[in-house]
Structure 1
Amino acid sequence: MTKANLFIVSDSVGETAQKVISAVMAQFPEVEETDVRRFPFINNENDLKKILSDALSEKAVVVATLVNRQLIAVLEEFAGRTGLDYVDFMTPLTQMIQGKTGMIPKEEPGALHKLDQEYFNRVAAIEFAIKYDDGKDSRGFKQSDFVILGVSRTSKTPLSMYLANKSYRVSNLPLIPEVPLPDEILDVPSEKLIGLTVSPERILRTRQSRLNGLGLNIDSKYANLERITEEVEYANDVFRKLNAHMIEVDDKAIEETAAIIEEIARNRV
């Protein structure tokens, strides 16, 4: 198997290297597998040396976007001593700009993104949405800007991620009649609760399509109209009990539903 093994080492997020690697690897469609491991926020020599040692043992190419001169020196020394393959995306151009302008670089990790606090808010919100997706950890409900409730296949996760990209901290919880509600949901203010309502027939079509795509039996209980109707009725009862904002999503795109939720957010400020 033809494989490319790369380590991204950065004293910030590492997105710059990731984008360049993606562009480069697109030129090698015959490479069967690309293993890219990202090591962000590296800010001390010990951590860097451990990563470099691992890269050497795994015969990986190190792609560096470091701005700290000390860490760059560690990388250069290690590579010179061991023969480690590496590319430094930052230093050559930084040195050229310094030579042309006479200005000293700040050597500040993440300076590009620190100019935009919204970037960090968005990254944090996306990480939050992933961590608290699908009711995996009910402790996240209290920290959420919104908690999205609904039965399976009502687009809770895509909606959560869309809102996270707008810097909202969103968790979601699937509603199943046989599964008791977590106690934490009862402590969430009703203004933060969003209930997605949808017709049983629409859910049936979505679930059947999902099962077909997976090559599974569409006659299962998961895609039974009577069962789905029971789930929808249960969910609507929960919405009323919790006094959640109810949004009918049968014919709405994710963007439309998100716009309604953002309007709710604006009105409660």
Structure 2
Amino acid sequence: MGKSRNFFHLHLVSDSTGETLMTVARAATAQYEDVEAIEHVYPLVRSARQLEQVISEIEASPGIVLYTLVDTELAERLEQAGRRSASPCVNILSPVFSVFQSYLNVQLTGRVGGQHALDADYFHRIDALNFTMLHDDGQIPGNLDEADVVLLGISRTSKTPTCIYLANRGLKAANIPIVPDIPLPPQLFSVRRAMVVAVIASVERIQQVRQNRILSLNAGSFANDTYLDRRQIAREIATTRKLCAERGWPVIDVTRRSIEETAAEIMSLYRAHKSALVDQLTS
């Protein structure tokens, strides 16, 4: 019999998108077994009127309050409301700002949503995302070497979401499926600038994901197809490993990895790849 879960209200108040808060809150919550947060997310809170609505919801459902509010008056008003409702309030960026200010000896500018500015980095990420979407699932292989990363993998190894995540980090990522009896595009074997990496998973994991995919599509006619056959899946994985061994391409097993963890490993490999390219050009 499974343990009962304990629920608590978690209020996330931000004058920007709230992404930072959600990342921190979920990382913290994940460290506590049998505890689950009921999240209340309030993005773009920038006026006293907006804050009053937030406070009314906190008072109706007291819990932990995490916030990122640059406006000190709004922050103080939220802190007061938290004390009244016995809801601890934490400005998660405050200790970070203190360290920066002490070390750099500069004043905080108090710029709301500064990390989301429409600067060169922003447009670089948009360009990477456009490239990635155009090169999903083996499309437009003619300019593969314009990619930063070329991701290979058999069906249901999370190639597309991983590439989209990489694009949001500014990397142009193309993905190419490895399909039995279908040759890979010849352009793949002539790339010089792009880093080629493959993803695999266990036979059990791939079979499970493929089965769920078929069920979601109501594609019952494929139930006995080789697509779900364990021996066929094992052959596909072996083919991937053999190809990468011959070419010297790295392989990442994503069986127990989240997309974020897979992307982090790819970005680490790409930094080493990029450094090696620079060394070649300068030597």
TM-score w.r.t. the length of structure 1 is 0.56
Structure 1, unaligned stretches of length 5 or more?
Answer: 1-112
Matched residue SS, 1:157:
helix
Could you say if the C-alpha distance between residues 127 and 115 of structure 1 is closer, same or farther in structure 2, counting changes exceeding 3 Å? closer
Residue 143 (structure 1) aligns with: 146
For the aligned residues, what is the CA RMSD? 2.2
1:115 shift after superposition: 4.7
Among 174, 181, 205, which residue is 1:202 paired with? Answer: 205
Could you say if the C-alpha distance between residues 256 and 114 of structure 1 is closer, same or farther in structure 2, counting changes exceeding 3 Å? closer
Matched residue SS, 1:176:
coil
Residue 239 (structure 1) aligns with: 244
Matched residue SS, 2:152:
strand
TM-score w.r.t. the length of structure 2 is 0.53
Instruction: State the distance in 2 between where 1:189 and 1:256 align.
Output: 26
Identical residues among aligned pairs (%):
34
Instruction: State the distance in 2 between where 1:234 and 1:204 align.
Output: 17
Aligned pairs for 1:148-227 within 5 A: 148-189=151-192, 192-217=195-220, 218-227=223-232
Structure 2, unaligned stretches of length 5 or more?
Answer: 1-115, 276-283
Could you say if the C-alpha distance between residues 115 and 160 of structure 1 is closer, same or farther in structure 2, counting changes exceeding 3 Å? closer
Instruction: State the distance in 2 between where 1:166 and 1:115 align.
Output: 15
1:256 aligns with 2:278: no
Aligned pairs for 1:53-72 within 5 A: none
Counterpart amino acid of 2:121?
E
**1:190 and 1:244 in contact (8 A); partners too:** no
Among 230, 239, 243, which residue is 2:235 paired with? Answer: 230
Matched residue SS, 2:224:
coil
Counterpart amino acid of 2:188?
I
Q: How many residues align?
A: 159
Could you say if the C-alpha distance between residues 115 and 221 of structure 1 is closer, same or farther in structure 2, counting changes exceeding 3 Å? closer
Instruction: State the distance in 2 between where 1:149 and 1:130 align.
Output: 15
Matched residue SS, 1:139:
helix
1:122 shift after superposition: 0.8
Residue 73 (structure 2) aligns with: none
